[in-house]
C-alpha cells in the first residue's frame, strides 16, 4: 500500500458528497462488517458514496495513490470481496434508489440497492424481475455474477433482464453501456463479476408478477430422502417453466407448521414456487406431496414480497459461512447417494445442502451470448456450511471440502461464480469455460492494470 498523507485524505473528503470513514472513527467498525463473519478485514479508508461522482472520485484516488480497491454493494459475497486490508473500499450501501416506470416495465436501480428494495418498489405495480432468494442480498453483486432465483425458469437470469448499465471504469470515466454502446463491456458484465468497474445504475426489464403467488414448503423425513430425491429428479426434468422446485437437506428449523418432535431432525424440504394462482397449480402440489409421506407442509397463496423474505431468518448475521458448489446438468443416482450420505452428517444445525433449480428460460440463451456460460446446467448445488463458534471452523470446513470432492465426479464441471470462496481462485476458469479467454481480453482493454481485482479475479491478457 502506498502511504497516503493527511492532506491527500482531506482532499478526497472535499471531493465527495458522502462520508469518508477511517480506522478509529465511530462508524468505521460497523461499516466494515459484512454478512460472512469469517471475513475480518481492516481497510485504510471506506468511502461511503452518495452518488456516481463520489464513485469516480474514489476510483481515481485509489488508482492514483496505488491503493488496493474493493467495492461493496450488499456485502453478501461469500468470499468477502467487499473488503480489502489496508486499501480503499467503495461503499455503495447509501446508493439504494429504485425508480420504476410501470408502463415501460423498466426499473433503474442504484448499485447499493438490495433485492428487498427492488421488490418493494416494483411490487407496488405488480412487477418483478428475476433475482435471488434472500431479500438482503445486494442487487449489484448478484446481477454481475448472473443472478438466479424463483423467477428464473419463467424469465431467465438477472443478466437476461439487464437492459443497460452505467459503470465507472478504471480510468474514472463513467460509461453508459448496452447492446449498442460498448457492447463488449456490456457482454462482460453479464456474468463477469466486478472485474470491469463499478456499476452505479442497472436498468432491468420487469414482468407482471404477483402481488400474490403460490409458494411454500413440503417437508419429508430424512429416512425418505433416497426415494424423494429420485422422484424429485425425474419430476423436474419435464417440469413446466411456470413452476420451480428446489430441494434442501438440513435440520428442520422450528417452523410453526412442523410438529415439535420434528424440530432439529434431519429433513428434506422441497420449496415450491409458481407465479400462478393456487387453484391452477393444485395438481402440481399434489404430485410433489406424493413423493413420500410429509411430516408437514405449508403451500398456498402468499405475497411475492413475503416469499422473497421467507428465508431471511435463516441467513441473518453474524454467522460464519463457507460454501462449496457444483453445477449439474442432471442428477445421477450416484450423485443423489453422495448428497444423502453427507447431509446425514451435517457439521452444524445451520448447515445445509441445496439444489437450486435452473432450466426453463435460463437455458434458452447460447453459452457465448453473455459472459455467464452455464446454459445447460439444470441445478446449481450449494453446500452451505454455517456455524457460530470459531472453534468449529476445522470441522465445518472439512465436511464441506470432503463433500465437494465426493460429488465432483458426478458434476458438470462448471460452477456459479457467485458461489466461489476466497480460496477457490483455481476454479475461475471453470466458472467461465469457453468465455474465459474473451473476458481476459476485455479486461485488458478496460482495466489493463487490474485495479478491480478484489473479486473472483479475471486477470487481463498480456
Q: Is there a domain that residue 325 lies in?
A: yes
Among 36, 42, 44, which residue's Cα sits nearest to residue 65? 44
Per-residue pLDDT tens listing for the chain (462 residues): 467 888 999 999 999 999 999 999 999 999 999 999 999 999 999 999 999 999 999 999 999 999 999 999 999 999 999 999 999 999 999 999 999 999 999 999 999 999 999 999 999 999 999 999 999 999 999 999 999 999 999 999 999 999 999 999 999 999 999 999 999 999 999 999 999 999 999 999 999 999 999 999 999 999 999 999 999 999 999 999 999 999 999 999 999 999 999 999 999 999 999 999 999 999 999 999 999 999 999 999 999 999 999 999 999 999 999 999 999 999 999 999 999 999 999 999 999 999 999 999 999 999 999 999 999 999 999 999 999 999 999 999 999 999 999 999 999 999 999 999 999 999 999 999 999 999 999 999 999 999 999 999 999 999
- Whether residues 200 and 274 share a domain: the answer is no
Among residues 215, 214, 274, which one has the least CA distance to residue 244?
A: 274
**Residue with cell string 400474490:** 212
In terms of domains, do 286 and 254 share one? Answer: yes
In a domain, 451, yes or no: no
Residue 428 domain-assigned (yes or no): no
Looking at the domain assignment, is residue 272 inside a domain?
yes
Q: Is residue 457 part of a domain?
A: no
Please tell me whether residues 385 and 355 are part of one structural domain: yes
One domain for residues 139 and 204: yes
The residue among 32, 66, 91 that closes a domain is 91
Exposed/middle/buried for residue 355 (C-beta within 10 Å: 0-12, 13-18, 19+):
buried
In a domain, 427, yes or no: no
C-alpha to C-alpha distance for 445 and 447, rounded to whole angstroms: 6
Q: Are residues 205 and 224 in the same domain?
A: no
Widest CA span of the chain, in angstroms?
70
* pLDDT number for residue 1: 44
Number of domains in the chain: 3
Residues 179 and 195 in one domain: yes
Q: Are strands 88-91 and 69-72 parallel, antiparallel or unpaired?
A: parallel
Q: Which CATH number belongs to the domain containing residue 17 in this structure?
A: 3.30.43.10
Shared-domain flag, residues 251 and 138: no
Contact 127, 209 (CB under 8 A): yes
CA dihedral of 171, 172, 176, 182, whole degrees rounded to 10: 0
Residue 146 CB contacts under 8 Å (≥ 6 apart), including other chains: 157, 158, 159, 190, 191, 372, 374, 416, 417, 418
CATH number of the structural domain spanning residue 241: 3.40.462.20
Which pLDDT does position 5 carry in this prediction?
A: 85
Task: Say whether both 66 and 148 belong to one domain.
Answer: no
> 302 and 347 share a domain?
yes
Q: What residues make up the domain containing 17?
A: 6-91
Verify that 289 and 148 share a domain, yes or no. Answer: no
Q: How far apart are the first and last CA of the chain?
A: 24
Residue 76 lies in a domain: yes
Q: Tell whether the torsion through CA atoms of 314, 419, 457 and 115 is positive or negative.
A: negative
Residue 328: in which H helix or E strand, if any?
strand 320-328
Q: What is the pTM of this model?
A: 0.97
Q: Does 334 fall in a domain?
A: yes
Regarding whether 219 and 205 lie in a shared domain, the answer is: no
Residues 248 and 336 in one domain: yes
Q: Which residues, other chains included, contact 2 with Cβ-Cβ below 8 Å and sequence gap of 6+?
A: 65, 66, 67
Cβ atoms < 10 Å from Cβ of 108: 17
Domain end (from 42, 58, 91) = 91
Amino acid at each position: 500500500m502506498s502511504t497516503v498523507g493527511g492532506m491527500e485524505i482531506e482532499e478526497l473528503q472535499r471531493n465527495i458528497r458522502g462520508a469518508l470513514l477511517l480506522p478509529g472513527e465511530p462508524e468505521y467498525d460497523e461499516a466494515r462488517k459484512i454478512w460472512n463473519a469469517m471475513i475480518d478485514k481492516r481497510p485504510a479508508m471506506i468511502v461511503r458514496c452518495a452518488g456516481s461522482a463520489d464513485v469516480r472520485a474514489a476510483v481515481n484516488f485509489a488508482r492514483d495513490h496505488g491503493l488496493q480497491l474493493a467495492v461493496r454493494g450488499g456485502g453478501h459475497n461469500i468470499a468477502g470481496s467487499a473488503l480489502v486490508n489496508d486499501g480503499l473500499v467503495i461503499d455503495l450501501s447509501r446508493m439504494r434508489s429504485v425508480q420504476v416506470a410501470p408502463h415501460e416495465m423498466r426499473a433503474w436501480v442504484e448499485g447499493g440497492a438490495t433485492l428487498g428494495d427492488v421488490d418493494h418498489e416494483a411490487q407496488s405495480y405488480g412487477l418483478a424481475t428475476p433475482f435471488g432468494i434472500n431479500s438482503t442480498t445486494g442487487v449489484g453483486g448478484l446481477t454481475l455474477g448472473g443472478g438466479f432465483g424463483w423467477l428464473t425458469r419463467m424469465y431467465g437470469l438477472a443478466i437476461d433482464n439487464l437492459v443497460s448499465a452505467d459503470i465507472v471504469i478504471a480510468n474514472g470515466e463513467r460509461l453508459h453501456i448496452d447492446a449498442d454502446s460498448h457492447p463488449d463491456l456490456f457482454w462482460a458484465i453479464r456474468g463477469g463479476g466486478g472485474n470491469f468497474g463499478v456499476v452505479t445504475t442497472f436498468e432491468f426489464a420487469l414482468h407482471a408478477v404477483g402481488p400474490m403467488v403460490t409458494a411454500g414448503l413440503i417437508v419429508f423425513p430424512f429416512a425418505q430422502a433416497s426415494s424423494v430425491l429420485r422422484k424429485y429428479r425425474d419430476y423436474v426434468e419435464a417440469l413446466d417453466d411456470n413452476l420451480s422446485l428446489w430441494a434442501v437437506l438440513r435440520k428442520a428449523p422450528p417452523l410453526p407448521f412442523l410438529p415439535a418432535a420434528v424440530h432439529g431432525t434431519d429433513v428434506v424440504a422441497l420449496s415450491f414456487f409458481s407465479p400462478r394462482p393456487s387453484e391452477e397449480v393444485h395438481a402440481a402440489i399434489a404430485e410433489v406431496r406424493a413423493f413420500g409421506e410429509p411430516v408437514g407442509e405449508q403451500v398456498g397463496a402468499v405475497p411475492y414480497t413475503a416469499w422473497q423474505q421467507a428465508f431471511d431468518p435463516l441467513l441473518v448475521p453474524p454467522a460464519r459461512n463457507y460454501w462449496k458448489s457444483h453445477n449439474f446438468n442432471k442428477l445421477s443416482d450416484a450423485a443423489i447417494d453422495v448428497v444423502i450420505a453427507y447431509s446425514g452428517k451435517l457439521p452444524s444445525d445451520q448447515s445445509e445442502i441445496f439444489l437450486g433449480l435452473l432450466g426453463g428460460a435460463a437455458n434458452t440463451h447460447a453459452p457465448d451470448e453473455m459472459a455467464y456460460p452455464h446454459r445447460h446446467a439444470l441445478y446449481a448445488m450449494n453446500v452451505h456450511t454455517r456455524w457460530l463458534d470459531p472453534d468449529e471452523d476445522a470441522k465445518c470446513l472439512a465436511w464441506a471440502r470432503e463433500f465437494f470432492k465426493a460429488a465432483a465426479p458426478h458434476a458438470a464441471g462448471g460452477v456459479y461464480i457467485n458461489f466461489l470462496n476466497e480460496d477457490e481462485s483455481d476454479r475461475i476458469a471453470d466458472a467461465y469455460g469457453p468465455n474465459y479467454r474473451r473476458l481476459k481480453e476485455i479486461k485488458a482493454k478496460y482495466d489493463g492494470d487490474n485495479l478491480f481485482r478484489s473479486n473472483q479475479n479475471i486477470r487481463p491478457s498480456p
